[in-house]
Structure 1
Amino acid sequence: MSLRSSTLAAALLSFSALLPAGSAAVAADMPVKAVKPIIDVPFFMVNDNRITYSYQFTATDPGVPGKTAKQVYSFTHFDVWAYGTNFFTIDMLKSDHNDPAVPCGLVAGVTGCAGATEFYGLFRSTLGFNELFNTKQFSAGPLRNVSFYFGADFNTENNAVAPAKRSVVAGLQFAFNLPYKGYFNVSPVYYNEFSNHNSFLMPAFNGGIGIPDGNTQFRGTWAVETNYYMDLGFLPDYLPLSISGRAAWYGPKGQGTSIAIPGNLNTATEFNSEPIRLTLDASKMMWGPKYSHHLDVWVAYRYWQNKFGLDHKNSPVCTGANSGSCTEQSLSSGVSVKF
């Protein structure tokens, strides 16, 4: 070692000997810029689950004279994730005695049956083009996004018809902004009710002509599904009301059978809507914005023409003694709880 190096080393050793015992940690204790923690982004940006009880005052069922009251129990799920949305609902609809469960209406002379019970499920999903392609090219003015839109419906009911609907939809959704953070969605789609069931199309009810198992298959057709929501933000804060609604048109889908059966006519364009629902955000009104929409109370109007595609003017199921049974106009009211 050179004389210069030896002298420098000795000086450093002498200086270190003068430092307090804990000074070896001085460098470690020097302030440094904190590393920002990595925040876990949840998979679902919105995850909303609700149960609802509602009462429909004057529902109708094709081929059943008069009005039918229905109690409806529903579970609804809605979520938003990185590339789109998912919506799912399943309803249990319990009819009064006017829409009886089997064997009433199927076996002559049997009366006094309880009301029928229907289960109806529906899901709809979207994949947003802005999100899929990491762009804003599908937004312009009030148009917020364009999405691929798809879904399915299914049902079963223990009435005389014994329906077992299975259908799919696929197309586009155009999503528009409304005031007060509202939205309006329009979805032109392809609709295919590829499977259903109708006991009254079996040979026993048609003089030996019919479908042995009662299963039907309709042709694909066009459809347009719409829905909207808007807070009534111009009202005072102590009155948190909102409006929402939906409307859907389903084109004619044929007879559902490969053979001609007396009285089984071609279907007509079906219009199924709940044009207005007025909702009171009861939880926000009672407990503040933190609990917004945890408890909703609502009233709605429903209008459904050519129910299930049955022509309300010409189908034997909808005319004569059954006149009016294929057009539904009804008020309904319910309570929804978020959990």
Structure 2
Amino acid sequence: MFARGLLAAVTSLGLVGGALAADLDAVKKKKAPEVVPVKEMPFFLFADTQVSYRYQFPAAEPGVQVLKANGQFENRGIPKQIYNISHADAWAYGTNFFSLDILKSSSQDPSGTTNVPGGFFQGTEGATEAYGLYRGTLSLNALSGTKAFTIPGLIKDVSLAYGFDANSKNTAFGPKKRDVVGGLAFSVDVPAGFLNVSVHAYKEWNRNGFNLQPNRDVSFNTVPEFEIVYNFPLAFTGLPLSLAGFNNIVLPKGRGVQDVTAFAFNPKTGLEFLSRTNLVLDVGKLVYDQPNKVDVFVGFQYWLNKFGNRETANFKGTEEKSFLAGVAFHIF
């Protein structure tokens, strides 16, 4: 306080006398406090990118079936090799998640097309599918700057939720699924890990290569869709184990076409339920004490009315019960 008052007096009065000059010199010689730069907050509060490989056996595909000796149809098991790249991040106002699967079927699910003279071609190699997915959220607590959307012990936050799916597969059916979702996501208050429940409006467009033009491009009804995503550490095991997975429910979405002449290849869809649960071991943490570097996992997938297709006596492959195992590398 003294030094600042002295400098003010010198400035205002123009005093240059010996005593005041000495005081000024002393003040000038004092070392000014160092300015500590403010560390900028990173844009992403959390970010993780990983690549993975998994083997799934036996998968199923609607219409891929075998005829038994007794005249009944049943699912034809299809082993698949699946390569994935995914990214998840969190920032000040929400989250982002992106995943891309490249699925390579065995020869039981052959490639093919209906875009050739004669209308149909089926190869001897297994089909390849690309399936991409994006989900994003915007936190209502963060947007409002309040805790108005928190219910202690029950809900940590409520978010605006949105996203899309897109796929393509080189089979005779030739699917080109496109869908958009929008709604609310609820972050459940759990003791460890996370549990998110989303309620969406769901709109899908697709392609059916068995339809005659102009009915190959189909558009389904907008329906409710529900998603549950979770990850729980299993600390009681004494190992870096976790249980991770998701559940997805899409209500019946109609036929996708209005032309009654195309109903034969477009029956009414059913309620679709997809569930996958993985037991994940953090090998990097276990072996090298380097967490979130390398994971191995085993799991089970159940899919009822796959892509909305309902099973009939002559149409199988719509219910999938399969095991999977794989490895994931966290690269960023």
Q: Same fold (TM over 0.5)?
A: yes
Aligned identity (percent) is: 38
Aligned partner letter, 1:299: V
| Worse overlay, 167-176 or 259-268 | 259-268
| Aligned counterpart in structure 1 of residue 330 of structure 2, from 324, 331, 338 | 338
Cα distance change on mapping 1:337 and 1:10 into 2, 3 Å: closer
State the match for 2:185 in structure 1: 173
State the match for 1:98 in structure 2: 108
Match of 2:210, SS state, is helix
1:71 to 2:81 alignment: yes
Aligned 1:301-320 pairs, distance under 5 A: 301-312=300-311, 314=312, 319-320=313-314
Q: Matches of 2:120 and 2:224 in 1, distance apart? A: 42
TM-score, normalised to structure 1, is: 0.83
Q: 8 Å contact 1:178–1:230 — kept in the other structure?
A: no
How many angstroms does 1:35 deviate by? Answer: 3.5
Q: Matches of 1:134 and 1:72 in 2, distance apart? A: 42
Aligned partner letter, 1:334: G
How many angstroms does 1:86 deviate by? Answer: 0.3
State the match for 1:299 in structure 2: 298
| Aligned counterpart in structure 1 of residue 321 of structure 2, from 322, 329, 339 | 329
Cα distance change on mapping 1:200 and 1:42 into 2, 3 Å: same
State the match for 1:5 in structure 2: none
| Worse overlay, 213-222 or 276-285 | 213-222
1:164 to 2:176 alignment: yes
Aligned partner letter, 2:286: M
How many angstroms does 1:298 deviate by? Answer: 0.4
| Aligned counterpart in structure 1 of residue 166 of structure 2, from 146, 150, 154 | 154
Q: 8 Å contact 1:168–1:191 — kept in the other structure?
A: yes
Runs of at least 4 residues off by over 6 Å? 106-111
Q: Which runs of 5+ in 1 are unaligned?
A: 1-7, 203-210
Q: 8 Å contact 1:103–1:113 — kept in the other structure?
A: no
State the match for 2:286 in structure 1: 285
Deviations along 1:26-81, one digit per CA (max 9) or x if unpaired, are 53442554434211111111111000111111100000011101100101000100
| Aligned counterpart in structure 1 of residue 266 of structure 2, from 260, 264, 267 | 264
Aligned partner letter, 2:288: W
TM-score, normalised to structure 2, is: 0.85
Deviations along 1:126-180, one digit per CA (max 9) or x if unpaired, are 0001100011121122311000000000000001100001100000011113233
State the match for 1:48 in structure 2: 48
State the match for 1:205 in structure 2: none
Aligned partner letter, 1:199: G
How many angstroms does 1:281 deviate by? Answer: 0.3
Match of 2:264, SS state, is coil
How many angstroms does 1:98 deviate by? Answer: 0.4
Match of 1:293, SS state, is coil
Q: Matches of 2:302 and 2:39 in 1, distance apart? A: 48
Q: Matches of 2:267 and 2:18 in 1, distance apart? A: 108
State the match for 2:90 in structure 1: 80
CA RMSD after TM alignment: 2.5
State the match for 1:223 in structure 2: 225
Q: 8 Å contact 2:300–2:322 — kept in the other structure?
A: yes
Q: 8 Å contact 1:271–1:305 — kept in the other structure?
A: yes
| Worse overlay, 77-86 or 139-148 | 139-148
Q: 8 Å contact 2:49–2:85 — kept in the other structure?
A: yes
Cα distance change on mapping 1:109 and 1:151 into 2, 3 Å: closer
Aligned partner letter, 2:310: D
How many angstroms does 1:272 deviate by? Answer: 1.0
Aligned partner letter, 1:128: S
Cα distance change on mapping 1:108 and 1:270 into 2, 3 Å: same
Q: 8 Å contact 1:230–1:243 — kept in the other structure?
A: yes
Cα distance change on mapping 1:295 and 1:99 into 2, 3 Å: same
Aligned partner letter, 1:240: P
**Number of equivalences:** 303
Cα distance change on mapping 1:10 and 1:162 into 2, 3 Å: closer
Q: 8 Å contact 1:157–1:163 — kept in the other structure?
A: yes
1:185 to 2:185 alignment: no
Q: Matches of 1:109 and 1:270 in 2, distance apart? A: 29
Q: Matches of 2:123 and 2:18 in 1, distance apart? A: 109
Aligned partner letter, 1:89: S
How many angstroms does 1:109 deviate by? Answer: 9.8
Q: 8 Å contact 2:211–2:265 — kept in the other structure?
A: no
State the match for 1:208 in structure 2: none
